[in-house]
Amino acid sequence: MHDFGVGILGTGIYLPEKTLTNADLEKMMDTSDDWITRRTGMKKRHLLDDDKPACTMGVEAAKQAIRDANITPDDIDLIIVTTETPDYLSPSMSCLIQKHIHANKAAAFDINAACTGFVYAMTIAQQFIETGYYRFVLIVSNEGLSRIIDWKDRNTSILFGDAAGAVVVGRVKKGYGIRKSYLASFGDLGHNLTIPCCYVSEEDRQKRRKEMERTLWQDGSEVFTFAIRAMTDATRRVVEAEGKTMEDVALVVPHQANLRIINGAAKRLHLSDDKIAVILQDTGNISSASIPVALNFSDKKGLLKKGDIIVMVAFGGGLTCGAALLVWGK
């Protein structure tokens, strides 16, 4: 056993200045503020200017997280980026960020577990630090979803926004930090949410408008049903594995895909509203950046107290899901 825990030492975010409100969307397509608010809880999203690479968001979030952790870029041993919208397949987003923040000693790789990416990355970072292989791991969840949306498809375009969230993970006092995690994948359900990249099948083409072959398509109601079940199950698993009950949990930080999904899971878990971090009214679905951005907001509001039990839980494309229970030790 180790004489230390592995936890979050610093957080940072970047939300582009430009916003897109429900009223703006009303002017672009056949939709209404009332429909979007009732069906999703969303009011606005942030959009990155088209002429900027998405990694510029991650660079800013990373710099903040490093400052917040009171370390320097040279202290970073590894950078893990979670993204569904890499600027390039090569160089990876993590290498682009490594260059821009001058993390001269860091190894770097990207992972893609869609919206569950941050929970996966936390668990990967934990393994490297627990074994003593690395001391400081920077995770950057860097998502420019506006770039893979068909803006004429009202079923999906209203849901997504751009953002980056970053954390520095390192040693904390024993008993604090990540205590339990659970990661899962359901590849047989993957066809319910697809974003073609280097290959486009006939089925992919049929689901999309012409020349929109590489945009995000989803079966909203299939994903919706999966999401409530997966978030409820993943949360229960980590709480029970830690020998705790939902009463012991101070805050659940869920992936921000739809307020009705969050409320559906909360109802099944008997969780009151004050124990759930919700930011989607201001951000929309920002994929894997949801959890680190919501964590940062909660930290700034003073909602995270040392010793609090926090559960981070997500689901997403793949399909994937996961949860991590941590004792806040920052």
Catalytic residue numbers read 115, 255, 285
Task: Find, among 70, 54, 72, 68, the residue nearest to 15 by Cα.
Answer: 54
Binding site for ligand ACO (CB under 6 A): 31, 35-36, 39-40, 114-115, 154-155, 158, 193, 218, 220-221, 223-224, 227, 257-258, 261, 285, 287, 316-317
Of 91 and 190, which has the nearer Cβ to ligand ACO? Answer: 190
To the nearest whole angstrom, how small is the minimum distance from the Cβ of residue 141 to ligand ACO? 12
Measured from the CB atom, is 19 or 250 closer to ligand ACO? Answer: 19
State which residue, 64 or 112, has the beta carbon closest to ligand ACO: 112
For ligand ACO, the closer CB: 39 or 207: 39
Q: What is the largest CA-CA distance in the chain?
A: 59
For residue 47, CA distances in Å to 1, 17, 40, 60 come to 45, 7, 18, 15
From 266, 326, 329, 312, select the one nearest 118 (Cα to Cα): 312
Give the count of beta carbons closer than 10 Å to the beta carbon of residue 202.
Answer: 7
Helical ranges in the chain per DSSP H: 22-28, 33-40, 55-68, 93-101, 117-130, 154-157, 202-206, 220-241, 259-269, 280-283, 290-300
CB of 321 to ligand ACO, least distance (A): 11
| Shortest spacing between CB 36 and ligand ACO, in angstroms | 6
Per the structure block, which two tokens stand in for 43?
Answer: 């009011």
Spell 282-313 as b/e; 16+ CB within 10 A means b.
bbbbbbbbbbbbbbbbbbeeebbeeebbbbbb
Residue among 84 and 87 whose Cβ is closer to ligand ACO: 84
* Shortest Å distance, C-beta 285 to ligand ACO: 6
DSSP codes of every residue in 158-184 = TTB-EEEEEEEEEEEETT-EEEEEEEE
Q: Rounded to the nearest whole angstrom, what is the least distance from the CB of residue 187 to ligand ACO in the complex?
A: 14
Least distance (Å) between residue 191 CB and ligand ACO: 13
Kindly tell me which of 100 and 260 has the beta carbon lying closer to ligand ACO: 260
Sheet of 177-185, strands arranged across: 177-185, 320-327, 309-316, 251-254
Q: Please identify the residue of the shown chain whose CB is closest to the bound ligand ACO.
A: 220
Radius of gyration (C-alpha) of the chain in whole angstroms? 19
Q: Which residue is listed with tokens 């770039």?
A: 147
Tokens in use for 277?
């971090």
